[in-house]
Amino acid sequence: MNQIKGRKIVLGISGGIAAYKAVDLLRRIEELDGRVAVVMTANAQRFIAPLTFQALTSEGVYTDLFDAYRPGAMDHIHLAQWADLVVLAPATANIIAKAALGLADDLLSTFLLACTAPKLFCPAMNVRMYENPALQANLERIREKGGVIQEPESGALACGETGRGRLASIEEIIESLQGIFSPPDLRGERVLITTGCTWEPLDPVRFLTNPSTGRMGFALARVARRRGAEVTLISGPTHLSPVPGVKQIPVVTARDLEKAALEAFPRATIVIKAAAVSDYRPEKTSVQKIKKKQERVTLSLVQNPDILRRMGTLKKKQFLVGFAAETEHLLQNARTKLESKNLDMIVANPIGVPGAGFAGETNQVHFIFPGGKTEALPLMLKEEVACQLFDRIIREKRKTP
């Protein structure tokens, strides 16, 4: 679920070259229906004009302690009360030091001192400045006071050096904001998710597969991470971007998936098998490209291991969830899979219904539990399906000591 919707967020911008990236952050928060007021330091305004932000936000841009005298503007105290959350991006060494010590000599630092809302600091600076013990000690002070630090990325820096100090990606910052607003009710859980299709090669240039893109599993991974879980995502070939904070293991064939999944299984407390695994693979994979010689070709296929069934026999403490993709007799087939694979829950997923199944952003599913209890969910975004699924898993896990 989008936790940013309707939230009042103050975006604090201090004077670093990454200040221009704050424009993208502002736009992304507003796309997610968050409300953003901007506070800029004097140095930030040397990198990017307040007018850019004024054109993009309806909640105002504040640059001076005396802005409050503008009609309709808030002073720093009212702004501090208005905010549900503060994100500092980029956060320079200077604003980090001021926040750590409680200095208040301009609007942004004074506002920070007055504001009790959660704060996310996104440092961006030269690598040696970032690694300096004085800066690290200030970050530690901020953490002790409850602030959250979004670690910068490693890479080429604007100053010409290479190392840790690049502003975290916008998607990472957004995921952290979603996490701060989410209930931490999966903290302590180790969630293993499999997703996407598998490729079963016929020769070096051809393979058998299906249309699964991995979207459902990526949504599950994002939601589990936001709610505090440690997440491992085993994914077949996909074009989706990695989920920040999630350990992603790429696999290609069903047998790769089996190996990776069974290795990760013993540590997991919750396992969700959303992958659309190929049930069969070619009996032989040709080393060379198969040439177009014959009029008719017959493929001989052999069965792949059923990973979920195996997990059902191995499970100890794991809460095991399967998906059932069906074109007919949806509930009946899903119930049979729930029982025969010894699952704690199954998500019945109709194929061929508009808005449900493979590839799209939405899904329309049924949750089925042992004993036959069934819940039909309306058509919703895959991320919302993921939230509902974890709500049920937590509820069911609480029932069993």
Residues counted in the chain? 401
Among 217, 322, 350, 357, binds ligand CTP (CB under 6 A): 322
Residue 159 is among the residues annotated as catalytic for this protein: yes
Catalytic residue from among 115, 159, 197, 387 = 159
Cβ closest to ligand CTP, residue 57 vs residue 349:
349
Q: Which of 68, 295, 318 is nearest to 193 (CA)?
A: 318
Instruction: Tell me if 264 contacts ligand CTP by CB under 6 A.
Output: no
Among 281, 337, 366, 382, binds ligand CTP (CB under 6 A): 337
Instruction: Tell me if 138 contacts ligand CTP by CB under 6 A.
Output: no
Angle 107-114/93-101 helices, nearest 10 degrees? 40
Query: What x-and-dash track marks residues 291-310 binding ligand CTP by CB under 6 A?
Result: -------------x-xxx--
Cβ closest to ligand CTP, residue 107 vs residue 197:
197
Closest distance to ligand CTP from the beta carbon of 315 (Å): 13
Instruction: Give the β-pairing of 190-195 and 119-123.
Output: unpaired
To which residue do tokens 């180790």 refer?
Answer: 190
Q: Which of 22, 110, 131 is nearest to 68 (CA)?
A: 110
Closest distance to ligand CTP from the beta carbon of 347 (Å): 8
CA angle 53, 157, 112 (to 5 degrees): 45
* Contact (CB, 8 A) for 188 and 200: no
Instruction: Give the β-pairing of 374-376 and 366-368.
Output: antiparallel
Closest distance to ligand CTP from the beta carbon of 351 (Å): 9
Instruction: Tell me if 256 contacts ligand CTP by CB under 6 A.
Output: no
In this structure, what is the dihedral angle of CA atoms 88, 89, 93, 99, given to the nearest 10 degrees? 0
Closest distance to ligand CTP from the beta carbon of 397 (Å): 19
Closest distance to ligand CTP from the beta carbon of 227 (Å): 21
Instruction: Tell me if 348 contacts ligand CTP by CB under 6 A.
Output: no
Among 273, 281, 335, 382, binds ligand CTP (CB under 6 A): 273
Q: Which of 111, 127, 210 is nearest to 164 (CA)?
A: 127
Q: Which of 85, 62, 81 is nearest to 72 (CA)?
A: 62
- Number of residues in contact with ligand CTP under rule CB under 6 A: 14
Q: Which residues bind ligand CTP (CB under 6 A)?
A: 254, 273, 275, 277, 279, 304, 306-308, 322-325, 337
Q: Give catalytic residue positions.
A: 159
